[in-house]
Amino acid sequence: MSPGRRWWAWPRELRRRGVLGLNGRNGEYVLPHNRRGHYPRVDDKALTKRICESKGIPVPKTYALVERYGDLARLPEMLDSQRQFVVKPARGSEGRGIVVVADHDGNTFSTAGGRTLTLADLRYHLSTVLSGLYSLGGQPDRAIVEQRIVRHPAFETVAVGGTPDIRIILYRTVPVMAMLRLPTAASRGRANLHQGAVAAGVDLRTGRTFGGVCQGRAVSEHPDTGASIDGLMVPCWDRLLAAAMDLAEAVELGYVGVDFVLDSTVGPVVLEANARPGLGIQVANRRGLVPRLEFLDRQPEAMFRGELRHELIARLAEL
């Protein structure tokens, strides 16, 4: 490192650059705009899926909902016709507790990350989900067994061992920032920044990627494949934006993150929504959220209805 050069910034410098911090996110956007009574609509993934289905928003098909320890005895019967599936806690966060099974014979289960589980191992994992090991606040939980999404071929060279996802943050039902998260060997095939995935910012107007971050550092290439993460075109971008806005309206949260995956045949499907989306999206986009949020607060209420929101999206992308 050259003399006098810093690899960090003071909080006041970040504020000057429009970077939103945790206190600002919670105090100025989450608490004033997200009614506490509406949190279960996104904190419970099973409920989120029901809301999506009622609005015609695509979600992975649910194969089973494991609610009681007694259900574990019927596990072979539940999974008999599904060679691939995903197990996830209904109230989990940060990707914890998710198991992706790529194949099984009823007794041995091979995960997408290369692990081998026995039927007893899988039952034990489900029991830990039910106990609340991965849930928000450690409360008793349910386990969702759902369709495994087949990765879209557009991401073949920039994803390792798993399926990428797209996060869109919305404020007052308008998309304000987006990123593409790409699994790595370090993240064990999961598109989770906390576990080592790489992310690239996405231009709101075009759906094209730019910038990038991995393990808290700016990057422009995938750490495993060396492929550029700049200039990728996210397929079905207009459909993604429309579905995100529909879901934000349905859950009635003013500040919310929506996560999508792209299936090779179905296209965009909603994985989950989050009332407290993380702030790493700013590093991936190499710009702060504050100017965009403040811009929306200056707009007349009429601009937040229908197609007028697309005009706001185009103007936000320039900030």
Condensed to tens digits (0 to 9), the pLDDT of residues 41-81 reads 999 999 999 999 999 999 999 999 999 999 999 999 998 88
Split at pLDDT 50, 70, 90, the class of 7 is low
Residue 1 has pLDDT above 50, yes or no: no
Q: Is 254 helix (H, G, I), strand (E, B) or coil?
A: coil
For residues 125 and 133, the answer to whether their CB atoms sit within 8 Å is no
Pairing of strands 165-171, 143-146: unpaired
Average pLDDT, the chain: 91
Residue 249 has pLDDT above 50, yes or no: yes
Please list the alpha-helical segments (H only) found in 161-307. 237-251, 281-285, 290-297
pLDDT score recorded for residue 10: 65
What are the contacts of 223-228 at 24+ separation with CB within 8 A?
223/184, 223/186, 223/198, 224/160, 224/184, 224/185, 225/157, 225/158, 225/160, 227/157, 227/158
For residues 253 and 276, the answer to whether their CB atoms sit within 8 Å is no
pLDDT digits (tens, 9 = 90+) for 170-217: 999 999 999 999 999 888 778 888 888 999 999 999 999 998 889 888
pLDDT score recorded for residue 9: 65
Q: How far apart are CA 190 and CA 197, in angstroms?
A: 7
Please list the alpha-helical segments (H only) found in 132-189. none
Query: What angle do helix axes 308-316 and 290-297 make, rounded to 10 degrees?
Result: 150
pLDDT digits (tens, 9 = 90+) for 74-103: 999 998 889 999 999 999 887 789 999 999
Pairing of strands 85-89, 143-146: antiparallel
pLDDT score recorded for residue 147: 93
- Name, in order, each residue with C-beta under 8 angstroms of 310's C-beta and a sequence gap of 6 or more: none
For residues 289 and 169, the answer to whether their CB atoms sit within 8 Å is yes
pLDDT digits (tens, 9 = 90+) for 127-147: 999 999 999 888 999 999 999
Q: What percent of the chain has pLDDT over 90?
A: 72
